[in-house]
């Protein structure tokens, strides 16, 4: 490191031949997140310093959830695409809400990646879009 401390455990350095050197980066925990400055002392050829930045891979859907068209008197279910998670960012919860954090209306339920919308014939027709926001959390 640039302050002469040893390399973090997620950075490995090896010299496979006299003409080359190799760094391997394998961050696996949130403790590895941040910026580091690596110093490479090349002896009489000088010293090189270069930055390394590790960012967290927050959970995200593997693809955008599709739109759902609904008509009165029908029930539709939307199964969300799986979430992308890594060893340091497991999905611990997923929630659904309307814009501004409002709860889902009574004709919508959400459980285990499935949004169910039941548009009963007795309902007053609402024409237009209702935007539902899905939030993934890693705790």
Q: Rounded to an integer, what distance in angstroms lies between the CA atom of residue 98 and that of residue 126?
A: 15
pTM value is 0.49
Q: Rounded to an integer, what distance in angstroms lies between the CA atom of residue 138 and that of residue 64?
A: 19
Per-residue model confidence as pLDDT tens digits over 39-63? 888 788 888 888 888 876 666 666 6
Residue 121 token pair: 């014939």
Whether the pLDDT of residue 138 is over 80: the answer is no
Q: Rounded to an integer, what distance in angstroms lies between the CA atom of residue 15 and that of residue 43?
A: 14
Q: What is the mean pLDDT of the chain?
A: 78
Over residues 69-78, mean pLDDT: 82
Question: What is the band of 103 on the pLDDT scale with cuts at 50, 70, 90?
Answer: very high
Predicted pLDDT at 89: 58
CA atoms within 13 A on the CB side of 93: 4
Task: List, in order of start, the domains of the chain with CATH numbers.
Answer: 11-54 (no CATH), 60-137 (2.60.40)
């Amino acid at each position: 490191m640039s302050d002469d401390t040893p390399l973090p455990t997620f950075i490995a350095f090896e010299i496979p031949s006299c003409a080359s050197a190799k760094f391997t980066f394998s961050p696996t925990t949130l403790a590895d997140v941040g910026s580091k400055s690596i110093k490479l002392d090349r002896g009489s050829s000088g010293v090189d310093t270069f930055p390394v930045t590790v960012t967290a891979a927050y959970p995200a859907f593997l693809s955008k959830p599709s739109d759902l068209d609904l008509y009165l008197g029908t029930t539709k279910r939307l199964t969300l695409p799986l979430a992308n998670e890594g060893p340091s960012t497991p999905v611990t919860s997923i929630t659904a809400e309307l814009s501004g954090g409002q709860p889902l209306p009574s004709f919508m339920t959400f459980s285990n990646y499935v949004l169910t919308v039941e548009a009963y014939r007795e309902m007053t027709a609402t024409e237009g879009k209702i935007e539902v926001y899905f939030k993934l959390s890693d705790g």
